[in-house]
Amino acid sequence: MNWKKLTGLGLVLALVVFSAVGCGGKDTAKQADQNGAVKKLVLAHSATPDNSLAIAYDKFAELVKAKSNGKLIIEVHGGGSLAGDQTAVEGVKMGTIDIGSSASNNMAPFTNAFLFADLPYIFDSIESSHKVWWGPIGEELKQKVEKDINAKVLFYLDTGGGFRVITNNKKEVKTPADLKGLKLRATASPIEVALLKAWGGQPHSHTLARGLHCPRAESG
């Protein structure tokens, strides 16, 4: 097969959302162990075991355990075994998953905070993107996400994959016009879908319905 890449979509970024201020309004982490019991939190991600993200999440769990003296345990479920990007965020919103991982473009059904990053050539280097995500702008975006979906962004991760690329096994792609008629898998980002359509491609994307909500907390 003759694979051909066209570079230029937004930088691949993962972020981790946490239901600490999610359904019911209780801070799960702070509630851990006033009686000395071990508290466990579930983290779901879709990365394969050898992926840099999976390695980072395992390290995160290791550090949490060490710094809490074993009182707080992160149970990591990777490879999409528990949830994919969008379903992980949905699980955090619904309170069925404590911590979820998602690429920024797959956050589109829940918040518009990261749509700018899906514009082509918005960053001119990996280093410039780091200044955005890990600087004041990144902190502002965290606050917007918390407002939009009632969950905290714990941290951003550079996936190590660089910028998004377009690949296909049908023909060489040297210019955007060469995408005309190609059926392409797209993420949930409306920016990405609109971009591929503008270039003549036929993007196909699966998105979750908007309007998700937290279940009502019951007293008892």
Report the pLDDT averaged over residues 53-79.
Answer: 94
What's the predicted TM-score (pTM) here? 0.77
Report the pLDDT averaged over residues 61-88.
Answer: 94
> Which of 16-25, 72-81, 112-121 bottoms out in mean pLDDT, i.e. has the lowest?
16-25
Report the pLDDT averaged over residues 162-179.
Answer: 84
Q: What percent of the chain has pLDDT over 90?
A: 41
Q: How confident is the model at residue 163 (pLDDT cuts 50, 70, 90)?
A: confident
Report the pLDDT averaged over residues 134-146.
Answer: 93
DSSP state of 49: T
Residue with tokens 């059926």: 183
| Phi–psi pair at 119, nearest 5 degrees | -70, 140
Q: What is the pLDDT of residue 161?
A: 73
Q: How far is CA 147 from CA 36, 138, 179, in A?
A: 32, 14, 38
| Phi–psi pair at 122, nearest 5 degrees | -70, -30
Report the pLDDT averaged over residues 69-91.
Answer: 93
For residues 173 and 3, what is the distance between their CA atoms, to the nearest angstrom? 9
Span 82-137, pLDDT tens digits: 999 999 999 998 889 999 999 888 899 999 999 998 888 888 888 888 899 999 99
Span 196-211, pLDDT tens digits: 999 999 998 765 433 3
For residues 97 and 87, what is the distance between their CA atoms, to the nearest angstrom? 10
User: Which residue stretches of the chain are H helix?
Assistant: 52-67, 85-94, 126-133, 136-149, 190-198
Q: What is the pLDDT of residue 14?
A: 61
Q: How far is CA 195 from CA 10, 27, 153, in A?
A: 11, 40, 27
DSSP state of 123: -
Q: What does the block give as tokens for 204? A: 């196909």
Q: How confident is the model at residue 57 (pLDDT cuts 50, 70, 90)?
A: very high
More confident residue, 185 or 13: 185
Residue 36 has pLDDT above 70, yes or no: no
The mean pLDDT of the chain is: 79
Q: What is the pLDDT of residue 128?
A: 87
For residues 113 and 104, what is the distance between their CA atoms, to the nearest angstrom? 9
Helix (H) / strand (E) element for 185: namely: strand 183-185
Q: How confident is the model at residue 187 (pLDDT cuts 50, 70, 90)?
A: confident
| Phi–psi pair at 190, nearest 5 degrees | -65, -25
For residues 109 and 124, what is the distance between their CA atoms, to the nearest angstrom? 26
